Amino acid sequence: MNILVTGGAGFIGSAVIRYLINETNNNVLNVDKLTYAGNLESLDTISNNSRYQFLQADICDKVAMTKAFADFEPDIVMHLAAESHVDRSIDGPMDFIHTNILGTYTLLEVARVYYQGLSDDKKHSFKFHHISTDEVYGDLEGTDDLFTESTPYSPSSPYSASKASSDHLVRAWHRTYGLPVVVTNCSNNYGPYHFPEKLIPLVILNALDGKPLPVYGDGKQIRDWLYVEDHARALYLVATTAKVGETYNIGGHNEKQNIEVVKKICQILDDLKPREDGDKYESLITFVKDRPGHDLRYAIDARKIQQELNWQPQETFESGIQKTVEWYLSNQGWVNHVKSGKYQHWVEKQYQ
């Protein structure tokens, strides 16, 4: 198959593409605008594969997207391109409205016209897979409640509101125009190649630099953590086998308080790379003012994808976070390029 992946230079997108190239025989077109978090070095291991292509383009550019569909002739679209950092959405929501809502609308319109022009056989196999987040549901009050595929939407941040809007657009294009879609909503991802503004890589890298480890509020916010490579497997399974019109929640079955996550990282680093001054990394933890509208608890009920598609995560949080810390310790070149901005110069050198 030909699989078009939007946002393939991002954290989850690059994991999906590495999986597609390494574990399947499909052809992949990576469409990415290469904003600050798009890093083609995350695809260095597969970039020379003959089944992989890269197109630098904005999903809001209808002309460019139309040409990409016409040239590549995708059988499946996996739409991951999104602005995804809550703090940035609070400081500057317009980028999130533009990319997450208008970009998704543009893709849907291009996909609709493309789909209508396909032969009956091609129509039967075509699918538009929209990848979203559990943050569209808001937060959970009880300690035993879980997000299901029928949980009402109640987004709290400009980011989650923009993703909720894109989810609604995708479902509307299915119901109104008959576009064959599937939607997935995932919990917090972590793992290799994660841009260091998010909690886990930020804590790892700050700790190694001897900097404060910032924790919002009291650190008791609860998230369900999903190892990114487990997520990539689930996304491919949904894209290729799920019934059109279905929604699947994808979670890691790993509910942890933020402060637990930070302390676990500190413990691993104490074992793998003790501080020269002999202090424990936990001494760097610094509690900071909570962010506006901070959801207290997310937790996903992933029974539907387990029962219907026979997927479940292979990594526990303990095994996944150990692998993640070890990866950052072993890949200081990637880390240093991201921290210094050199990865952007690498892109210019590689593709000009």
**18: alpha, beta or left, given left = phi > 0 and alpha = psi -120 to 50?**
alpha
The pair of structure tokens assigned to 9 is: 């230079």
Q: Catalytic site residue 298?
A: no
Q: Catalytic site residue 159?
A: yes
Q: Which of 134, 139, 167, 230 is catalytic?
A: 134
3-state SS, 57-84, equals CCCCCHHHHHHHHHHHCCCEEEECCCCC
For 222, the enclosing helix (H) or strand (E) is strand 222-227
Q: Catalytic site residue 343?
A: no
Non-local CB neighbours of 191 within 8 Å, separated by 6+ positions:
15, 227, 228, 229, 320, 323, 324, 327
Cβ-contact 185, 259 below 8 angstroms: no
Burial label, 313 (beta-carbon count in 10 A; 0-12, 13-18, 19+): buried
Integer Cα distance of 191 and 15 in angstroms? 9
Integer Cα distance of 172 and 181 in angstroms? 10
Cβ-contact 337, 194 below 8 angstroms: no
Q: Which of 41, 58, 135, 167 is catalytic?
A: 135
**66: alpha, beta or left, given left = phi > 0 and alpha = psi -120 to 50?**
alpha
3-class SS of residue 5: strand
Q: Which of 52, 114, 159, 190 is catalytic?
A: 159
Residue positions annotated with a catalytic role: 134-135, 159
